[in-house]
Amino acid sequence: MAPDTLTVTQKNDPLAEAGHRKDPTAGLGPGNEAEDPLVRVRGLSRRFGSRTVLDSIDVDIGAGEFVALLGRSGSGKSTLLRALAGLDQDIEGQVHVPAKRAVAFQDSRLLPWQKVLPNVALGLRGDRPVERATAALDEVGLADREKSWPKELSGGEQQRVSLARALVREPELLLADEPFGALDALTKVKMHGLLRELLAKHRPSVLLVTHDIDEALLLADRILVLDEGRISTDVRIPAPHPRSIAEPELSTLRTALLQGLGVDPAI
Ligand SMILES: Nc1ncnc2c1ncn2[C@@H]1O[C@H](COP(=O)(O)OP(=O)(O)O)[C@@H](O)[C@H]1O
Ligand SMILES: [Mg+2]
**10-66 residue pLDDT tens:** 234 445 545 454 444 444 434 445 568 999 999 999 999 999 999 999 999 999 999
C-beta of 49 in contact with ligand 1 (< 6 A): no
What CA–CA distance (Å, rounded) separates 38 from 40?
Answer: 7
* Average pLDDT rounded to a whole number, residues 155-181: 96
Q: Are residues 66 and 91 in the same domain?
A: yes
CA 130 to chain CA centroid, nearest Å: 28
What CA–CA distance (Å, rounded) separates 189 from 183?
Answer: 9
Q: Are residues 93 and 202 in the same domain?
A: yes
Q: Are residues 193 and 240 in the same domain?
A: yes
| Ligand 2 centroid distance, CA of 209 (Å) | 8
pLDDT band per the 50, 70, 90 thresholds, residue 264: confident
**Is 175 domain-assigned?**
yes
Which of 52, 57, 69, 78 maximizes ligand 1 atoms within 8 Å of its Cβ, making it the mutation to test the pocket?
78
Beta strands 92-96 and 101-104, pairing class: unpaired
List all residues 6 or more positions away from 160 whose beta carbon is below 8 Å from its beta carbon: 140, 141, 142, 191, 194
| Ligand 1 centroid distance, CA of 118 (Å) | 32
Nearest alpha carbon, ligand 1 atom 10: 48
Q: Are residues 89 and 196 in the same domain?
A: yes
CB atoms within 10 A of CB 11: 6
Cis-peptide, bond into residue 242, ω within 30° of zero: yes
DSSP one-letter code for 200: H
Nearest alpha carbon, ligand 1 atom 9: 79
Nearest alpha carbon, ligand 1 atom 27: 74
DSSP one-letter code for 113: T
C-beta of 74 in contact with ligand 1 (< 6 A): yes
| Ligand 2 centroid distance, CA of 73 (Å) | 7
Tell me what percent of the residues of the chain surpass a pLDDT of 70.
87
What CA–CA distance (Å, rounded) separates 42 from 24?
Answer: 13
Position 8 pLDDT exceeds 70: no
User: Count of domains in the chain?
Assistant: 2
Position 176 pLDDT exceeds 50: yes
